[in-house]
Amino acid sequence: MDNEGYLDEFVTWMEVKGYRPGTIRQYTYDVRRFLRWLDKDAADATPDDVWRYLTHLRRKRGLADRTLLRRIASLRTFYRFMEQRHYVEQNPVEVERPRVRRALPSVLTREEVERLIEAAGDDRSRLLLRTLYVTGMRVGELCELTWDRVNLDDGVILVRGGKGGKDRVVLIDPQTAGELRALKEGVSDSNGRIFGVSPRTVQRIVKAAAERAGIQKRVTPHTLRHSLATHLLEAGADIRAIQELLGHASLSTTQIYTHVSTRHLKREYEKLFRTRVRSGA
């Protein structure tokens, strides 16, 4: 079997395993780039080949730690497939995961979110940005969202096959539900995708709106997700409830927003002194 044959079978293997479409596309892209660089049968790759490739990416291409981490994950998964299918005896991806510094996410203020939404080019784009913000969905989840998963009466959306293949429920406010209902009235396929766009298109919509709104921060679709989490925390929402809404597997992932929200930090700080005043300390 040639390398394209391995890749085709790898895609099928990931689909059977329940990998998300976006992950399948990304892993396939990463592995294909490695195999082009390798320039020999994938089954003949050695740990030294993998190490030299990653060194090439870091020194010659200057890839960031997070990107390098994803490339390692892609190759490790591919060779786990090769090992399970008995195309190789041992997974050659032996490198350790690089240490990645967890940077604080960039967030928008509520006023900036309103400006961003209003600066979208048309009503449909404004509703797309609003839905992305109020639900906290990942961009891929929004793009795959279909009408049959939305309960406009209860203000609930079922997100199927989120990160890690998990389903979860997210919420929408009455205004967004009303705007979605108006959009649905003009739709012929009541089970089709709501917005029918790709993640790349959403990225362009967000970037263009940020420029028109005069927002100087770097704004991506994920910025709206970070912003919702921070605003909920500032409003006093329970951090475990935020974890459920965002679909984080670990509470520690959600807790990064406690570092972002200076208003929340100030509120918690002031509790100490209110307690001291009441106790007469």
Q: Does 225 qualify as catalytic in the annotation? A: yes
Burial of 95 (0-12, 13-18, 19+ CB in 10 A): middle
Q: Which residue in 70, 124, 212, 222 is the catalytic one?
A: 222
Q: Which residue in 76, 231, 257, 264 is the catalytic one?
A: 257
Q: Which residue in 225, 226, 231, 264 is the catalytic one?
A: 225
The string over 244-265, giving b where at least 16 C-beta atoms fall within 10 Å of a residue's C-beta and e elsewhere, is: ebbbbeeeeebebbeebbeebe
Could you give the CA distance from residue 281 to residue 273 in angstroms, rounded to a whole number?
Answer: 9
Q: Does 163 qualify as catalytic in the annotation? A: yes
Q: Which residue in 70, 80, 163, 168 is the catalytic one?
A: 163
Residues 6+ apart with CB under 8 A from 204: none
Q: In this structure, what token pair is assigned to residue 89? A: 């005896």
Strand locations in 70-113 (E): none
Q: Does 86 qualify as catalytic in the annotation? A: no
Q: Which residue in 20, 71, 76, 138 is the catalytic one?
A: 138
Q: Which residue in 76, 226, 248, 264 is the catalytic one?
A: 248
Strand locations in the chain (E): 150-151, 156-159, 168-171
Q: Does 204 qualify as catalytic in the annotation? A: no
Burial of 70 (0-12, 13-18, 19+ CB in 10 A): middle
Q: Does 259 qualify as catalytic in the annotation? A: no
Q: Does 138 qualify as catalytic in the annotation? A: yes
AA identity, residue 108: L
Determine contact, residues 136/245, Cβ cutoff 8 Å: yes
Q: Which residues are catalytic?
A: 138, 163, 222, 225, 248, 257
